Structure 1
């Protein structure tokens, strides 16, 4: 859910003075260099100094926290108050320079326990486990950065209807546990979703890759475990071990997750786009996954486009209108197989049945990093028509560059 600014709300409600809207809350300032916790905190010249002072403040719906750029803090920053849908509590940057950095190898950096927060302008780095942890509902992260964490953003099982958008999650390349045996290593996640009905859109996610004692290497741009109905759309993924891997422990579900209009590239020697499981797997079945209009280029030999194993069926995985080029296996299915159509594949091998409008051919990408289609591409005009539910709803009915879907549709993330 995109949260509206005062200016936007005022334009939609011209009869209501913007000053009345702005007066809804108080703005508090935090400056790690020049602040003073004994000051009032209500102006840039009387800013507080510490996150502890901020965490102790009795924030109310409509309040704003402004954090001075160029500063650094030791985490955690725990946000326990709650805003409302009409009056979220806002965190934003002010001043000039780099985003304020929050670090803390002994603690998670930003922990959002409340609801209806709109958080931007923070950088969480080298935290105990997660850069940003969302325990609450209806929160939004936008324009944040996270690096050097086990998970850049972690949405816990209690976190629902949150949005992570327009952010840079790079080099979250650490592994937890990481010991021999036990099949229990975990980490190197750009985003880890354990909750339901969240949106991950418009982000650049790179470098989710780490050594693992159990798996050799592991990591994912967006990992979903026990999370239902999450929508992962319009993201740029570079040099991650896997774009997405899905699982659910027995008695839990990871049902109805959608991946649409993502662009996935990697120069690593190993990688994959999508990994999911049927009922015979220890973390299966993962039901109702949909992948549509994604563009993928993974040229190394040890790569997989998509894998649906241990009891694959159309109820497990549906794919439409993707363009997938790999140096290894373009797709793999067992059992009844996935439901696939309208796509272009190129790979060394393939173990799946092509849909009626799918082909094996060179899609003619512009380059190794630019996955737009050149003239004469077999992906042009190949896509099958889809209703909005396939790609997460009408709000997501546009290509990776924001072009609306119209006319004969092309396969892949770009429309021409």
Structure 2
């Protein structure tokens, strides 16, 4: 086949592939819900047509940058693996800006979008229980939005389970292969709720919610109900609250066993950055299997991992617990020691002198949090300041060490390794390609979430 014929064939394939795809535009500033919505000059104004219109695989639903929306919608139209339905943004092109006099740019920015990401809020519980994007469909991509200031439930108990209804982005039961990426969530009681499978939550920023949702529920950035989900490369800051029956609650990720549909095993949580939250991972259930937590920085309060009963691989995390007050006394805790199994390798635990990592098992009387006791552990570094036993009454494993990891700058909370760190090259090789900064993993990996670049 000649080069020209091949080019023509590829062009024909492209047009056939995209033949039925339509771009829809929404602009709260200049739109009209009676418009066709399929050009930037005739955009819709609100969310209403997202429930009334029919959407096909390959369609894109684009919101003007600088626009804002209140309320929520239920989306029921699925894409396919090859042609997902994409929610994203649009703005005025650089070519238009360059050829337009500065004095005439303002109405163009308003008409075609410019500035900050489109913003969404739903402060009214009576509107979809505070959901904004309630996705009851598959192969959906949600990319590049700003969500803020959502409502708490009007109380929550074992009968109404209102907390389980929350989620700014709510991926409903039996949905699958959805992606939430590059979004920001501010002051939202639950940022993302995942009730479906094979979803990817990646490169989002969730931050600043410190009010209890209900008596025994603190705010949670990401709640997971179903299995086979991946949570990666997100940044979460300042989630959680003091109060309630446990003294402190909420945090980054919860596997929500209170939800009636809970069946969450095979969860991959990796390469996330967690700062000043009330715990990293809570597993509110028993019998949770095949969870992997790897290459995360957790510079938080309270537990790194705790829950009812679980099997979790814990690889190459940098866990910092020097923020006060810490309500939990151990980095790992459980309600059921006999049902808890950890495989802990290549981590750095840098903790306050009054805390421990594992701790001795105690007899459980009632629903109380206790230390996890002896677990599989090797090639970890433990440091507790003046405490000579930061591991917590458990014997060191093969390759374990108790020493200062020598971070770059502890005072300014830079927990990368300096050139003299004893953690350099002391890990064992696992199946990961890059560290939290994106540097390649060497044949002799470092302990913790960061490789030393020249290692």
- After TM superposition, the score normalised by the length of structure 2 is 0.78
Q: Is 1:374 aligned to 2:411, yes or no?
A: no
Partner residue in 2 for 1:411: 447
Contact 1:259 1:291 in 2 (8 A): yes
CA-CA distance at 1:311 after TM superposition? 4.7
Q: Answer yes or no: is the 8 Å Cα contact 2:309–2:339 preserved in 1.
A: no
Indicate yes or no: 2:194 matched with 1:155: yes
Q: CA, structure 1 residues 20+340, in 2 after alignment: closer, same or farther (shift >3 Å)?
A: same
What is the CA distance between 1:176 and its match in structure 2? Answer: 2.3
1:403–1:307: structure 2 CA closer, same or farther, 3 Å change rule? Answer: same
Q: Is the 8 A contact 1:309 1:334 kept in 2?
A: no
The number of residue pairs the alignment matches comes to 376
Equivalent residues in 2 for 1:222-241, closer than 5 Å:
222-226=253-257, 227-241=264-278
Whole-angstrom distance in 2 between the partners of 1:76 and 1:187:
23
Q: Per-residue displacement from partner, 1:96-146 (whole Å, max 9, x unpaired)?
A: 211111111223121111111011122222223322111121100011111
SS of the residue corresponding to residue 48 of structure 2 reads helix
Instruction: For 1:30-41, list aligned pairs within 5 A.
Output: 30-41=26-37
More strand by share: 1
Check the 8 A contact 1:330/1:346 in 2, yes or no.
no
The alpha-carbon deviation at position 403 of structure 1 amounts to: 2.2
State the alpha-carbon separation in 1 of the partners of residues 356 and 304 from structure 2: 10
Name the counterpart of 1:329: 355
Is residue 203–residue 234 contact of structure 1 (8 Å, CA) maintained in 2? yes
**What is the match of residue 350 of structure 1?**
391
Q: Find out whether 1:175 has 2:201 as its counterpart.
A: no
Matches within 5 A, 1:7-406: 17-95=13-91, 96-106=114-124, 107-128=130-151, 129-135=166-172, 136-156=175-195, 159-178=196-215, 185-226=216-257, 227-248=264-285, 253-266=287-300, 270-276=301-307, 284-286=308-310, 288-300=311-323, 302-303=325-326, 306-312=331-337, 316-327=341-352, 328-335=354-361, 337-347=374-384, 348=387, 349-351=390-392, 352-368=394-410, 369-386=413-430, 388=431, 396-406=432-442
What SS does structure 2 have at the residue aligned with 1:324?
strand
CA pair 313-321 structure 1, distance change in 2 beyond 3 A = farther
Question: Partners in 1 of 2:375 and 2:338 — Cα distance?
Answer: 5
1:182 corresponds to: none
Larger Rg: 2
CA contact (8 A) 2:441 2:451 kept: yes
Q: 1:127 to 1:314 in 2, by over 3 A?
A: closer
- Runs of 5+ unmatched residues, structure 2: 1-5, 92-113, 125-129, 152-165, 258-263, 362-372
Task: Mark the runs of 5 or more structure 1 residues left unpaired by the alignment.
Answer: 1-9, 179-184, 277-283, 389-395
Moved more, 206-215 or 52-61: 206-215
Q: CA deviation at 1:23?
A: 3.1
